[in-house]
Structure 1
C-alpha cells in the first residue's frame, strides 16, 4: 500500500471515530450538530472512495469522491452557521458543489489535466475553510471564553492557507514552470490535509458543543426559572465577591430587599398563573431600571434582592423609589384569558455595607428595614437606621435564621 493510500486509510478511521462522537451528541439540543453529523458521514464515504482509488472506476474514485468531499465541507460550513445562529445559503452551497463536480468532469474526461482539477478543488476548499473560520470568529460568545471557537477558526484558516498554496503551485504547474511542479510527496501532504479537514474541524466542533452545553447548564443553575433573574445561590455568590472587593478598598455596596405586597391575596384571588405573571413582570421592570453593574436575584416566593455596588444610601434610595413607582404604575393581565388587569405594589428596605460585615449581617439589616416599611403601611422603601434595632427589640420580633418577618406578605 502506497504512503498516500495508507494515510487516507488512517484518516478514514479517524473520520469514523469522529462520526461516532458526533452521533452521541445528536440529542444535545445544540443547533448545527445534525449537519456536522451528515458532514462527517459524507466525508467518511468520500475518504473510502479515495482509499479504493485504482481498484474502482475513476468516476467513483475521482468524480464522486471529490464531489462528496466538497459537499461534506459545505455541510460543515452550514452546520457552523447554524451553530452560530445563522441560516445556511443552501442554493449557493449546492451551486458551488455542482460547479466543482462539473469542473472535475470537464478536466478529467474532456480536457484531461490533473493540475487544473487540483486548482478547482483547492479553490473550493480554501473558500469554505476560510468562510468557516470567519463564521466562528463572528459567532464566538462575547460574554464567555471563546478559546474553542478561536482555535477551531485558526485551524480552518490554516487549512484555507494550505489549499491556497496548493492551488497556486498547481496553477503555476499548468503554465509548465519546472521550478514549481508539485512533487509527489508534497502532493500527498496536501491530499492528506484536505482529507483530514472535516474530522479535524469536527474535533473543534465537539469542543464548542461541550462548551455551549456547560454554559447552558451554568445558566440554568444560576437563573431563576420563572423570573429570569439570578437564583438565590448565584446571587449570594455574586454578593460575596462584591463584598470581598469592597473589603479590599472598593466602594461599599448597598443591599435592597423588595417584597411584593399582599402577594398571597393575588394568588388566592386570581390564581397562581397570574401570580407567576406578576413575579415575572416585576422582575423584568426591576432589572430594566438597574445599572449594568447591579445584580438582582429572587431569594424565595415573592421576595427579591438587589445589590448596588459602589452606591451611597441616597443613590440606592433613588433606585429603590424608581422600582417602587414603576411597580405601582404597572399592570399585569389576568392569566387564562380573563378580562382585566392586576395592580400591585411593593415594599423594600435597604442598608449600606459596613466594613467587616458579613452578607448575612447586611441582609439582616436590610430585612429589618423592609419589616419597618411593612409596618409603616407598605408601598414604600425605607433605609435601615439605628432606631430600627430598638423598635424591633421592643416589638419582640423573632427571626428565622436572621431572615424572617412577623408580617409576611
Structure 2
C-alpha cells in the first residue's frame, strides 16, 4: 500500500505540471485562468502543510492552514468556472460555507479534539462546491460545439461529490475510525488517492474548455467580417456551397440576392473613408434587422453583399429585397454630425439544379450589373433584364 505522503508528493507534481500549462495560457486573457491558477497554488500549499502533520509543527499550520487552503482552492476554482462561463460569482454564499467549515475546524481542534467532525465538515464543503461546479457546467454547455471537455469536468465533479458523500457517511456511521491524514489506513489511502486526483483532473478539464473557447474565438474571427459583423467572404462562400449541395439532394429552392451599395466611392470621396465604414456598418445592422435568422448574409466584396435564401423562390426574395431597400432609403446613416443617404442595386437569381456555385453567383452578378446599368437604386430579379428592371420602391 502506497504511503499517504507519497500520494501527496505525486499530487504536488501533477499540480506543478498543471501550473506550467496554465501559465502558458495566461497570456490569452481568457476569463477564469487566474482563478484556476490560484486554486492549484492553494492546493499545493495544502499538500505541503498536510505533509507536516507528523512533525512538531503547530496545529494551526498542520490542520487549520491546509484545510482552509483547500476551502479557498474550491472557492477559486468555482469562481474560475463561473467566470469562464460568463457568469457572476456568488461570493457571499461561498464565504458563508467557508466560515462554517472554519468554525468546525477551530472548535474540534482547540475546544474538543476530534478528527471525525473535521473530516465530515470538509467533506460536505467539498461536496457542495463540486455539485455547484457540475450544475454550472451542465447549464452552460455549448449547443453547436463539442461538449467533450465540458462533460469531462461535469463527470469529475460528480464523482468527487459522490466520494465526499461516501467519506462523510462512513465517518458519520462509525464504519471507520477517524485518523490523521498521514496514517496509512485503508480508508485514508483510498480517499486520499481519490481526493488528490480531483484538482489535477478538474484543471485538465478546464484547460480543455479554455482551448475550446480559444478555438471558437479564432473561428469566429475568421468567419466574421470585422467591420460589419456579418459573415466573411470565406465563411459565406463555404456556407453557400453547403446550401447548393443540400438543394441538389432535396430539390428544394435556393435563391441568391447579390447587392452593391450605390456610388460608394463618392461617399468615401465626399465624407471620408471613416464615413464609408460607418455606412457599411449601418447596412450590416439594417440587413440583420430586416432579414430572417436563416438568411445567410455576408460581405463578399468591398461594398458588395450576398444573401442566401434557402427554401425561398425568387418572387418572395424580391419582396424581401424590396423591404430591405426601402429600409435603407428611409433610414440614412448618421456619422460625425452628418446624415448620409444611400441606396443599393441588386440582382436576384434562383439556383438551377446541377449548377455549381460559381455559375450561380455569376448569374446573380450579371443581374446586379443590369440593375446598375438601368440607373441603380433598384433590383433585377428572375425573368427580368436590363431593359425592364424592377423598381421595388418609388424613387
The answer to whether TM tops 0.5 is: yes
1:101-250 correspondence runs (5 A): 101-173=102-174, 179=175, 184-250=185-251
What CA distance in whole angstroms lies between the structure 2 residues aligned with 1:108 and 1:191?
21
TM, length-normalised to structure 1: 0.89
What CA distance in whole angstroms lies between the structure 2 residues aligned with 1:2 and 1:50?
16
Residue in structure 1 matched with residue 392 of structure 2 by the alignment:
none
What CA distance in whole angstroms lies between the structure 2 residues aligned with 1:94 and 1:191?
25
- Alpha-carbon shift at residue 2 of structure 1 (Å): 6.1
Alignment deviations for residues 313-346 of structure 1 (CA, whole Å, 9 cap, x no partner): 11111111111111111121123xxx23111111
- Alpha-carbon shift at residue 365 of structure 1 (Å): 0.6
Alignment deviations for residues 256-287 of structure 1 (CA, whole Å, 9 cap, x no partner): 10111111111111111111111011111112
Residue in structure 2 matched with residue 397 of structure 1 by the alignment:
none
Residue in structure 1 matched with residue 359 of structure 2 by the alignment:
361
What CA distance in whole angstroms lies between the structure 1 residues aligned with 2:178 and 2:164?
13
- Alpha-carbon shift at residue 182 of structure 1 (Å): 6.8
1:289-368 correspondence runs (5 A): 289-335=290-336, 339-368=337-366
- Alpha-carbon shift at residue 181 of structure 1 (Å): 5.3
Asked if the contact 2:36–2:203 (Cα under 8 Å) also holds between the matched residues in 1, the reply is: yes
What CA distance in whole angstroms lies between the structure 1 residues aligned with 2:346 and 2:206?
48
Unaligned runs of 5+ in 2: 180-184, 389-395
| Alignment length (residue pairs) | 382
Residue in structure 2 matched with residue 12 of structure 1 by the alignment:
12
What CA distance in whole angstroms lies between the structure 1 residues aligned with 2:335 and 2:272?
9
What CA distance in whole angstroms lies between the structure 1 residues aligned with 2:296 and 2:350?
15
What CA distance in whole angstroms lies between the structure 2 residues aligned with 1:196 and 1:102?
27
- Alpha-carbon shift at residue 169 of structure 1 (Å): 1.4
Residue in structure 2 matched with residue 69 of structure 1 by the alignment:
70
Change (3 A) 1:110 1:57: same
Alignment deviations for residues 86-112 of structure 1 (CA, whole Å, 9 cap, x no partner): 121223323322322221121122111
What CA distance in whole angstroms lies between the structure 1 residues aligned with 2:275 and 2:343?
15
SS at match of 2:173: helix
- Alpha-carbon shift at residue 305 of structure 1 (Å): 0.4
What CA distance in whole angstroms lies between the structure 2 residues aligned with 1:94 and 1:103?
14
Asked if the contact 2:35–2:79 (Cα under 8 Å) also holds between the matched residues in 1, the reply is: yes
Asked if the contact 1:365–1:384 (Cα under 8 Å) also holds between the matched residues in 2, the reply is: no
Residue in structure 1 matched with residue 23 of structure 2 by the alignment:
23
SS at match of 1:27: helix
Runs of 4+ that moved beyond 6 A: none
SS at match of 1:26: helix
SS at match of 1:324: helix
Asked if the contact 1:368–1:384 (Cα under 8 Å) also holds between the matched residues in 2, the reply is: no
SS at match of 1:333: strand
Alignment deviations for residues 372-403 of structure 1 (CA, whole Å, 9 cap, x no partner): 11122211111143756x99xxxxxxxxxxxx
SS at match of 1:248: helix
Deviates more, 1:199-208 or 1:50-59: 50-59
- Alpha-carbon shift at residue 193 of structure 1 (Å): 2.5
SS at match of 1:297: strand
Residue in structure 2 matched with residue 400 of structure 1 by the alignment:
none
Change (3 A) 1:19 1:165: same
What CA distance in whole angstroms lies between the structure 2 residues aligned with 1:262 and 1:294?
26
- Alpha-carbon shift at residue 191 of structure 1 (Å): 2.4
Change (3 A) 1:68 1:148: same
Asked if the contact 2:115–2:178 (Cα under 8 Å) also holds between the matched residues in 1, the reply is: no
What CA distance in whole angstroms lies between the structure 1 residues aligned with 2:113 and 2:91?
30
1:370 to 368, 371, 374: 368
What CA distance in whole angstroms lies between the structure 2 residues aligned with 1:98 and 1:191?
24
Asked if the contact 1:172–1:181 (Cα under 8 Å) also holds between the matched residues in 2, the reply is: no
What CA distance in whole angstroms lies between the structure 2 residues aligned with 1:60 and 1:251?
72
Residue in structure 2 matched with residue 38 of structure 1 by the alignment:
38
